[in-house]
Chains A and B, each alone.
Chain A
Amino acid sequence: MAIEWYLVLSALLFGIGFAGVMIRRNPVVILLCLELMLSAGALAFLAFSRMLGNQDAQVMVLIVLVVAACEVVVGLGLVVAMFRRRLPLNVDEMKELEG
């Protein structure tokens, strides 16, 4: 299979993820969409690795997975904290840091 298919899929996933981050206001969904974007990047890495016959990118993917796991931990922690304080689960209303 040509590499283009993988890259198109990756771009699509990234676009969907980004659109989700842009459109949705629920932090949980935004986190899911971020995961999607990270996975798109990982997929592109794997495709290139396969094309070049080089294993280096596999390491990058592992790192991306670890980062993604960490990010989810922090992100969900924040969500739980927001929930506990009975704050609205809406990122647009959390804008106290505006200039």
Chain B
Amino acid sequence: MSAATWAWLVLLFPLLGSLVIGFGFRVLSTRTAGLLGIGAVAVAFFCGIGALVAIQGEPSDSRYVASSLWEYAAVGNFKIDLGIYVDPLSVYMVMVVTGVSTLIHIYSYSYMKSDVGYHRFFSYLNFFVFSMLVLVLAGNFILLTVGWALVGFASYALISFWYRRQTATDAGMKAFVINVLGDVGLYLAAILIFSQLGSVDYETVFARAPEVFTTNEWTIVAICLLLMVGAFAKSAQMPLHTWLADAMEGPTPVSSLIHAATMVTAGVYLIARTHPLFDLAPTAADISALVGVITLLVAGTIAIAVTDLKRIIAYSTMSQIGYMIVGVSIGAYSAGLFHLMTHAFFKALLFMAAGSIIAAMANMQNIDRMKGFGKAMPFTAAMLVIGALALAAFPTTSGWFSKDEIIDYASFRGGIYGLMATAMLIGAFLTAIYSFRIVFRILPGPPCDEAQHLIDTGEVVHGKPVNPHTLEPEDTDVGYPGSEHHIAEQALGMKIGMSVLGFLALVGGVLQIPGVDEVVFNFLEPTFADSELSHIHPSTSESWLGLGKGAAISVAGLILVWFLYMKRPAIPPALVRRLPHVHALLVNKWYFDELYDFLIVNPVKGLGRFFNEFIESDLINGLTRGTVYLVRTAGAGVREIQTGLLRSYAVLMLFGVVAIGLYFLIRSI
């Protein structure tokens, strides 16, 4: 079979799974629904392997296939095919998405076991995987926007999965609104591309772009800036990042799959996919890299201060995506995409471990209350440590190879990129601090009540269901996990998903050892062969030097955080007391939410209130009420004539007829 056929099959199975589970929820048992969901994604993964093998069989200069099922729309010379584009980049993304999704489906199978919305969850999850695959396999900008919007919807549906929870539905709306903002940017970019190049197909657009545009011409810069709006909204980069932390309201597997491993990396994919355009607009690419650097620093500082377990990991996600954005923006395509893959491994793993701990805490997420889980949950603790090591780019873990490769490339290009490399090293230091802050605050020490309960009885605490943020009691009717919790130590599915990811997070780096194998680079090379930037390559010795630097910084951060939280645990609270303003700034996430509330949300709400109170109630209601009053008064006057007396009607009629007769008589004289 050709690569295109495999790719169509990849798309088919998650869609089928979603439909079958969604429509068959009355017939299917929960067990079957879960297995169907896992099966659909697993089969898609194996079809992805088929596509991989098929495309590797081609000679390296023709490793791409465009395939179209039918013409989607045709107006004049504007033609859109329902077409996919299969090349090493899209196959790579398919492998990452379906591979990680399969593991997270297996994890969810156990994690969501007691949820009343089990079918709904798996149907949404498969739908998400389908949308994401449409996004990465799309062969033109129109189908890309379709996938882009579907992914946004899937994210909305899954964030608001526990729809009885007010904070969750609010977070879903926020995510959706900001994502739609990005969609608009992408639509405008697609329209501009069509108006300038007369096509929306990737092949035609990328081939024609260098002929039509001169470097840094304003149109191509505008196109790239609009693409960036889409990418930043989806990938939670500044200033469109505020939705991601709130998106943690969704169930933990959702945070793991969508808001860590796959969907939020769509922006990275978009920039990598449209690299021929960004090569023509270096200004836009530089702005994009700069935004990535700012985001990774700001998110890193926030992650140091906040105390909500899932939100710390969410901010670290933003920070790591910042690295990827910098990577693909400055031309380190394979490094950025390699970091995308390793990040998918260790971040999904971290979320899974966090989910397990949160379940043991009866849905509490505040790390201030967690202690001593190292003894209570040894397996989860081990996985958390592995995830944190990889996140902190500890030597020989996967994150070490991928993150430091981006930094190497940036410092190798020098100039402004050298500055960015320095900033990224600072970011790496922050990463080491916040990732091990989680570890040192949760795992060691005397067990907290919940952990002690787990050690004593071997069962997790079944607290009263409350909202973890507002602490309001909740009902367990519909759309809530209920009082049953599942932890990795006791659920096989969660254990399988986490061990595989833990293994990959530890050794995933061997795919890309400088000077040894560089599998990812060689695999993606055909896609990026047309870009001059991709041929810039730090030498092996320089790469190892960079890796050494990264290792030193990572270990330094680790030692510092060990000193702060283990050796002298009095220092962090003292720091908070000494620098209350800095702490307030960080804990409040640099006041971005407040700023947006002030600048956008409140004015729009005020406008709404104005329209509601003045235009609607005074003007519109006044108009209708006035009309009613007028008609009623006129009616009251005329009503007097309606006496109901037959004979008076007869008189009036006679007079009327006589009057009309006289009128015509007089006129005719």
Contacts and interface: CB of A to CB of B under 8 A. Distances in A.
B609 to A, nearest CB: 44
Interface in B627-646: 638-646
Interface stretch (A49-57, A65-73, A91-99): A91-99
B665 interface: no
Interface string A82-96: 000000000110111
A95 B647 contact: no
A91 B648 CA distance: 11
Given A30-B646, A91-B646, A98-B644, 10 more contacts: A21-B647, A22-B650, A22-B651, A25-B647, A91-B645, A92-B645, A95-B646, A97-B642, A99-B639, A99-B641
B654 interface: yes
Interface string A1-28: 0000000000000000010011001000
A25 B642 CA distance: 18
A96 to B, nearest CB: 6
A94 B646 contact: yes
B191 to A, nearest CB: 63
Nearest to A22: B647
Interface string A22-52: 1001000010000000000000000000000
Which 3 residue pairs are nearest across A and B when measured between Cβ atoms? Answer: A95-B644, A99-B642, A98-B644
Nearest to B654: A18
21 contacts: A18-B654, A22-B647, A22-B650, A25-B647, A30-B646, A91-B645, A91-B647, A92-B645, A92-B646, A94-B644, A95-B644, A95-B645, A96-B644, A97-B642, A98-B642, A98-B643, A98-B645, A99-B640, A99-B641, A99-B643, A99-B644
B125 to A, nearest CB: 67
Interface residues of B, number: 13
Interface residues of A, number: 13
Contacts of B647: 21-22, 25, 91-92
Contacts of B642: 97-99
B645 A21 contact: no
Nearest to A30: B646
Contacts of B650: 18, 21-22
A91 B647 CA distance: 8
A92 to B, nearest CB: 6
A97 B644 CA distance: 5
Nearest to A98: B644
A91 B374 CA distance: 100
Nearest to A14: B654
Nearest to B651: A22
Contacts of B646: 30, 91-92, 94-95
Interface in B297-343: none
A32 to B, nearest CB: 14
A27 B496 CA distance: 97
Nearest to B650: A21
A95 to B, nearest CB: 3
Contacts of A91: 645-647
Interface string B64-88: 0000000000000000000000000
A89 B654 CA distance: 24
Contacts of A25: 647
Contacts of A21: 647, 650
Contacts of B654: 18
Contact of B643 (A22, A30, A95): A95
Nearest to A34: B650
Nearest to A97: B644
A24 B646 CA distance: 11
Contacts of A92: 645-647
Contacts of A95: 643-646
A25 B654 CA distance: 18
B209 to A, nearest CB: 78
Contacts of A94: 644, 646
B402 to A, nearest CB: 87
A98 B639 CA distance: 8
A97 B639 CA distance: 11
Contacts of B640: 99
Contacts of A99: 638-644
Interface in B92-110: none
A99 B647 CA distance: 16
A92 B650 CA distance: 13
A96 B642 CA distance: 10
